[in-house]
Chains A and B, each alone.
Chain A
Amino acid sequence: ETGVTQTPRHLVMGMTNKKSLKCEQHLGHNAMYWYKQSAKKPLELMFVYNFKEQTENNSVPSRFSPECPNSSHLFLHLHTLQPEDSALYLCASSQGTGKDEQYFGPGTRLTVT
């Protein structure tokens, strides 16, 4: 595997379900990110991890819970989501935070029914 991978690529879940999104980066980077992209809207930064430590939480509802066990893996745990949470969820990584370019995974298309 190369670059940034995400699983699953597509997910349909009910409002009472619990699911997790997984991201893995094979670039040797130290920072990882979760973004949300809704239709016709710009990228929304959700969480930032740098060296496994969460450095940013952009007022994300608690029904989204991130986990970063090491610098290569990032999870987003989902529970009791709302239909408006349906979106493309993108993981990205970079060497450090701030000035460095970010590389994105293919995303998980989430539909909440």
Chain B
Amino acid sequence: QKEVEQNSGPLSVPEGAIASLNCTYSDRGSQSFFWYRQYSGKSPELIMFIYSNGDKEDGRFTAQLNKASQYVSLLIRDSQPSDSATYLCALSGSARQLTFGSGTQLTVLP
């Protein structure tokens, strides 16, 4: 099992819909969780981080963490075409560095 698993997609949603991106992980000792957005040809940009079980909201973004089930998700409300990008899940666990997933490609259709 990969340390961090993401559905590579592509995930397509219509404009205005809720996009749901999921990430599962294997290291139960993982403590910090991050979501990065990466536009094509650009570098990853940090958009959310979450440390505790539950939901964390920031504007149109909500991160959800469930440590018992070992998953973290990112919800994007009122999706816009400008949200079309690859979303990377990252976490810190027993490894000394962040571990990144391979990313989910999201396309928001106008």
Contact = CB atoms under 8 A, between A and B. Distances in A.
Interface residues on B, range: 20 to 34
A110 interface: no
Contact of A104 (B43, B97, B101): B43
A104 B45 contact: yes
Contact-size category for A: 20 to 34
B97 A45 contact: yes
Interface in B71-110: 88, 90, 92, 96-98, 100-103
A53 to B, nearest CB: 13
A35 B42 CA distance: 14
Contact of B96 (A97, A101, A104): A97
Interface of B: 31-32, 34, 36, 41-46, 49, 88, 90, 92, 96-98, 100-103
